[in-house]
């Protein structure tokens, strides 16, 4: 790998910068997607689907 050190030092730095930028953008995108999933996951808990589940003591379960 001595050829990498001798020539293309500027190219190596530019490549590193591009990789850093790509990783940063990827991280931002993944965080944004995770926030979107959290928002969707929290909506049903606030809605009417949570009311009267059969596991509740006061639920409409046959035989009780």
Tell me the mean pLDDT in the region 12-35.
96
- C-beta separation of 34 from 26 below 8 A: no
32 pLDDT higher than 60: yes
Mean pLDDT of the chain: 75
Question: Measured at the alpha carbon of residue 16, what is the angle toward residues 15 and 20, in degrees to the nearest 5?
Answer: 120
CA distance 28 to 26: 5
Res. 34 pLDDT band, cuts 50 70 90 = very high
Q: What is the pLDDT of residue 61?
A: 56
Q: Inform me whether the pLDDT recorded for 9 exceeds 60.
A: yes
Residue 37 has a pLDDT of: 86
């Amino acid at each position: 790998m001595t050829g990498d050190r001798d020539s293309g030092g500027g190219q190596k730095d530019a490549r590193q910068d591009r990789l850093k930028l790509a990783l940063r953008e990827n991280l931002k995108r993944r965080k944004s997607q995770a926030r979107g999933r959290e928002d969707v996951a929290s909506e049903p808990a606030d809605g009417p689907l949570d009311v009267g589940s059969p596991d509740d003591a006061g639920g409409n379960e046959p035989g009780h």
